């Protein structure tokens, strides 16, 4: 009996291909699984300094985050800190009324002098000096400039002691007893005359 046998068939070849692909995937997954399933002793050790570094890095990030939160949500807290700092570092900021000429300040000083209010008369002379510096463009007015900054800026000017007299008197009005005698006013008036006569 001689039979005819088919050596291959399409179905058989598809089955063989499926089995080979399945075995290949199984082999690949087995290799990956073997690499990832290390025993506990085979795990790489992480140095202690790395954990300390991560801890302090986390603390730093949290501190920065809290600081930013405070800046954003607590303007009253920052205002309080700025006010306390301003009290710790005493500086008088000269605030000159806008568009008031030095001549107007001088008129005010004379009016206060006639009323016997030498404190306000001295203050008006100070502002006349500040305005005169601005009008002559020797030192332009900046609302944020302090008495200390004015004192430092006028040191190189001719007649610097006269400027210093007015600046010191103004500073004393804010941080001292707040009263100016007739003699002190006369000294301020003389200082302003010297300033007015310098070129």
- Is residue 192 in a domain? yes
Q: For the chain, give the mean pLDDT.
A: 76
Q: What is the three-class DSSP state of 114?
A: helix
- Is residue 168 in a domain? yes
pLDDT value, residue 60:
92
Reference 170, options 103, 90, 85; nearest CA is 90
Which residues form the domain of 106? 102-197
Q: How many CB atoms lie within 10 A of CB 5?
A: 5
Is residue 92 within 8 A of residue 170, CB to CB? The reply is yes
Per-residue model confidence as pLDDT tens digits over 107-164: 888 888 888 888 888 888 888 888 888 888 777 777 777 778 878 888 888 878 887 8
- Is residue 28 in a domain? no
Largest CA distance in the chain: 150
DSSP bridge pairs for 175: none
- Is residue 2 in a domain? no
pTM of the model: 0.51
- Considering its fold, how many domains does the chain have in total? 1
Alpha-carbon gap, residue 56 to 114, rounded angstroms: 69
pLDDT per residue, tens digit, the chain (199 aa), is: 455 566 667 777 778 888 888 887 777 767 665 555 555 455 567 778 888 888 999 999 999 988 877 776 666 666 666 666 655 554 544 554 556 888 888 888 888 888 888 888 888 888 888 888 888 877 777 777 777 887 888 888 887 888 788 888 888 887 776 777 888 888 888 888 888 887 6
pLDDT value, residue 57:
92
- Is residue 52 in a domain? no
């Amino acid at each position: 009996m001689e039979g005819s046998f088919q050596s291959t068939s399409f179905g058989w070849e598809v089955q063989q291909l499926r089995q080979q692909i399945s075995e290949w995937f199984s082999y690949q997954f087995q290799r990956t699984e073997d690499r990832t399933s290390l025993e506990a002793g085979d795990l790489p050790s992480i140095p202690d300094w790395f954990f300390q570094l991560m801890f302090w890095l986390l603390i730093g990030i949290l501190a920065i985050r809290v600081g930013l939160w405070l800046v954003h949500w607590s303007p009253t807290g920052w205002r309080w800190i700025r006010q306390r700092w301003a009290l710790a570092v005493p500086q008088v900021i000269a605030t000159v009324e806008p568009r008031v000429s030095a001549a107007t300040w001088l008129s005010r000083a004379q009016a206060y002098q006639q009323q016997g209010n030498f404190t306000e008369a001295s203050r008006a002379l100070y502002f006349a000096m500040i305005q005169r510096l601005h009008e002559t463009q020797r030192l332009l007015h900046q609302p944020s400039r302090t008495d200390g900054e004015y004192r430092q800026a006028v040191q190189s000017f001719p007649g610097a002691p006269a400027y210093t007299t007015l600046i010191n008197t103004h500073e004393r009005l804010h941080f001292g007893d707040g009263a100016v005698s007739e003699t002190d006013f006369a000294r301020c008036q003389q200082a302003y005359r010297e300033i007015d006569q310098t070129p």
